[in-house]
Structure 1
């Protein structure tokens, strides 16, 4: 894995300054500690930090074509590079290395921008074409690898991380308040926004070209949930076959390789398949907690014992306070999925033994594993029984009257259900996925912030993808929304930043685009059946994953956040967020923040995720705004 950056003065003849590109590149050293490469030629500058994975002696970047008219910088892995190399060689291309980077270079010579359709992998790369004075930048189909860019009237900048772009003196750091509102809604900032108005994310499955005429961005891949007819046995065989193929492709490495193992279905399946393909024991990394409700180590140990892995584990103690500032630095913009903490630690454990890890991310999105999919299905069944004119006033009233009782068992917490039943299916799913809801924002936001936001509604993020999925069934539509938003900008962002903080490459076989397209072709009723998510996946994996792992209740990769905010994180929150000169005080009504804080401390409400979001926002501001 690597870090890339660059500058193209597309509307100016001013030369790129070496010192600036050097600083931008140096800021990415954690992503690529093994080597550095720079290329400065007039209006173009490229930077690269390398983590050596394939062809350790070759693969130096930036890499050039024979006549030096093309130059490429690349972050990621191309899993079918050997097949492409053979195909390109048959077309007359000569290769000097055994790296996948050179395959990109010759592939661009052969196919131009259509190269992206030939690639199987995770990638963000830029190709400078000196003959056309054009820069081509692309990101993989799922957005596994990050790519940010900045554009003004004369300069285009790009990088793997925002911090690199911010080192350029021309960058406008104006905050995007709509992105801030999105952050408080979702706990992450969805593409194409970033926290800075002029810095954007290149969306997953997109590429862009920029030359003297300007920039044009295009989408090259999307996923369809149109089901195909086949028997259940064929479905199950197809799942196992596709999964084995995806795992096998990701086991190519010239450095030590292992896997994350939580003891859940997805990571256990990946480890089980790896064990069957490898000729030596697999290295696995797992973490646990002293709090039994959050500890999956016993399950991970069970799987490790079955497959005779070399298991490496760590108990995480409530010392998140020690790494919050580091997390804010690595994540670049406000991010508040608290599973960033265990992901950071499990990456640290893995890196002690390996350089590459496979993970089980993607199984829930592909096969409807999240509990919220079951809730949504249940709500839709009730909606089908009651017409909207009856349903809306009835459940809206019940939702208003029913108390928000966080201390009660989950079965008695019906407020969200009542509110959702008063809404359309689309608005209800948005409500389920929202953290700071409209009423809370209204009391929290200062008048100047409300004025900045005007009539902005963060539901517009979801609306884009609900509009694109009309005609599909309800489950397929929310899976599609999750793949386009939550998966890329929460899950994959978290894994990339937390792993790259330790120079660990993470590969995600369940997000292989062939595997995902196959999963999307299966009908929804075999993914979610009789309240059971991953129905067909579980049946397919019997014999690979033990039944007691397949059918135990889903636990999730989380931390005892509510408790930590009442104990070890309490002084940090009070000293930072509640300070009179805090960034929060410039945006929010602080009496309302203190009300949330005090209710949480008393235990009458659980605002753990909300308060964590405010703490991470403050930590980010301290790193990047002061």
Structure 2
């Protein structure tokens, strides 16, 4: 795992300032504390920070091909690199290291851009090929590893693993993009097709970019997509066996490392499944770690301890305060762009704990997206049955009216909180799911915006990307379309960003076996009833894992990492909430209505309305704006 950055002159091969490349690489030194390297040639410069995982002695980067014509910098891991290497050796190639980096480089020289389909892993890499006179950038299928890029006024393109690498270049203008702020408030993160810094782009997951000197900057080309259009055939038992075999292969392939390796263990289904399969494959006790909270409503450590005992792991637990808001500034620096998923706090803490004993940790991320594990997906699937029975014209009249008049009963038992269900049934599938997956609904966003902000948006809505993704999905069913959109938007924008930034902030490599693309493709082909059945998501996975895990782990209510943010803004962060309304960087932008913000704070602190999530979003946005642009953003 590493950090990469570079400069490429598109029109003429102007000299590249080596010190500038080094400064960009040093900005992401936390991603690679074990080594660094800079390489320049006419019109191009590469910087690299290395976290040594495979071939500790021979994998230094930037790495040049034997003939010197191609140079690579690479962030990530290729889990099947030995297979790729063997294929290349059979074709007459000779290797000088045992690293996966060299396998990519020689695969590029043999197959060009088509090499991507042979790679199974998480990666973002750049290859400069003097013979082809090009720069090739590529990102893995699901977007586990990030890659930012921007075109500058001097005709160069800069790129890097994190936004802070680009910000180290003096020609990058720091101008905020308000449409990205609306995306952030709507979704809780700045999605992969946007950036809070105007002009900066992110290479989308499963895409590549081929830059050729003398040509304008092209659009990224998609090299992989997942299809929900086909269905697996076979008995339930046969599908269970197939699923377990694919999970086993994904886990064991990610256990290859030349450094200490372990796993995150929350005690939930996904991390427990990964640990079970690691224990099965390992001759030694698996190193596991978990975070517990000093508040019982947020603590899952007893479940993690139960799984650790079951598989005799070398388990470590740290109890942290549920009021762990002291990490806020650390997270703002780690993420650069505003990020409102408060589970980033415990994710940082568990990464910090893991790094004390291991350099690589396997996580359980990905199964909820692949196998419909989120509660919002099972709710949506149930609503879809109603939508299929009644046309939209009928539903909008009946349920739209009920949604408007039914009170919002956040305090009531789940069965009585029907307002959002009525509202969803009165809309199209796409509109309903876009609202369900969002954080701050558009009417509330519009309430806090200034007149200028509403003009500047020019009709832009954060929800529209979800609607578009669902309508374009290669799919058969509403659940298919919702999962497809989650894989394309939520997964890279929220889940993978969270894990990458928090783990790399402490120089830990996190691997996600449940995001093996073969597993994702298998999940997309499963019949809907094998993914969601009633209120149970990940149905086939839970049935299959009964051979390893007890029902009280598999079928307990999903908790996840939670934090008491609503209480914080009525207690220790009450002054912070007041500052949001008066005197924060938000007011300097001219995009927010100060009186509306003051009302939001007053409503929350009086207990009349719970605006905890919105206040958390606004606080993180305020800190990010100050960090990126200064208070006069």
Same fold (TM over 0.5): yes
TM-score of the two chains, using structure 1 as the length reference = 0.98
Query: How far apart, in 2, do the equivalents of 1:505 and 1:573 lie?
Result: 35
Map of 1:536 onto structure 2? 540
Q: Deviations over 1:94-152 (max 9, x none)?
A: 11111101111111111111111100000000000112321000000000000010024
How far residue 579 of structure 1 moved from its aligned partner, in angstroms, is 3.4
Alignment of 1:365-444 (within 5 A): 365-444=369-448
- CA drift at 1:465: 1.4
Q: Residue 182 of structure 1 contacts residue 458 of structure 1 at CA under 8 Å; is this kept in 2?
A: yes
Which segment drifts farther, 415-424 or 52-61? 415-424
CA contact (8 A) 1:2 1:75 kept: yes
Query: Hey, what does 1:57 align to over in structure 2?
Result: 57
| CA shift for structure 1 position 527 | 1.0
Q: Does the aligned pair in 2 maintain the 1:406–1:604 contact within 8 Å?
A: no
The corresponding residue for 1:140 is 140
Q: How many Å apart are 1:605 and its aligned residue?
A: 1.9
Instruction: State which drifts further: 53-62 or 565-574.
Output: 565-574
Equivalent residue number for residue 252 of structure 1? 256
Equivalents in 2 of 1:114, 1:90: separation in Å? Answer: 18
User: Is residue 448 from structure 1 mapped to residue 443 from structure 2 by the alignment?
Assistant: no
Distance in 2 (CA, whole Å) between partners of 1:482 and 1:391 is: 25
Aligned-residue offset at 1:549? 0.4
Residues 475-530 of structure 1: per-residue CA shift (max 9 Å, x gap): 11101010001011100000000000100000000000011111111111111113
Across the aligned residues of Structure 1 and Structure 2, the Cα RMSD in angstroms comes to 1.4
What is the CA–CA distance in structure 1 between the aligned matches of 2:389 and 2:87, rounded to whole Å? 57
Instruction: Give the equivalent residue in structure 2 for 1:243.
Output: 247
How far off is 1:74 after superposition? Answer: 0.2
Superposition deviation, residue 75 in structure 1: 0.1
Cα offset, 1:257, TM superposition: 0.3
TM-score, length basis structure 2: 0.96
TM-superposition CA deviations, 1:297-317 (whole Å, max 9, x none): 010000001111111111121
> Mean alpha-carbon deviation: is it higher for 589-598 or for 271-280?
589-598
1:213 paired with 2:222, answer no
Task: For residue 379 of structure 1, give the secondary structure of its aligned residue in structure 2.
Answer: helix
Q: 2:227 aligns with which of 204, 224, 227?
A: 224
Structure 2 counterpart of 1:117: 117
**Could you tell me which residue of structure 1 aligns to residue 619 of structure 2?**
615
Aligned 8 A contact 2:298 2:322 in 1: no
Does the CA contact (< 8 Å) of 1:318 and 1:568 recur in 2?
no
For residue 596 of structure 1, report the CA deviation from its aligned partner. 1.7
1:348 aligned partner: 352
Q: Is the 8 A contact 1:344 1:499 kept in 2?
A: yes
Q: Which residue of 2 aligns with 1:21?
A: 21
**Structure 2 residue corresponding to 1:570, chosen from 567, 571, 574:** 574
The answer (yes or no) to whether the contact 1:321–1:572 under 8 Å persists in 2 is no
Select 1:580's aligned residue among 574, 578, 583: 583
Return the alpha-carbon distance in structure 1 between the equivalents of residues 558 and 584 of structure 2: 42
For 1:80, the equivalent position in structure 2 comes to: 80
Q: Which moved more, 1:22-31 or 1:538-547?
A: 538-547
Match of 1:287 in 2: 291
| Residue aligning to 1:309 | 313
The structure 1 segments of at least 4 consecutive aligned residues displaced by more than 6 Å after TM superposition are: none
Matched, 1:595 2:599: yes
The whole-number CA distance in structure 1 between the counterparts of 2:560 and 2:323 is 20
Deviation at 1:173, TM superposition (A): 2.0
1:529 counterpart SS class: coil
Contact kept in structure 2, 1:405 and 1:605, CA below 8 Å? no
Indicate yes or no: 2:554 matched with 1:554.
Answer: no
Structure 1 residue runs without a partner (length 5+): none
Contact 1:34 1:52 in 2 (8 A): yes
Unaligned 5+ runs, structure 2: none
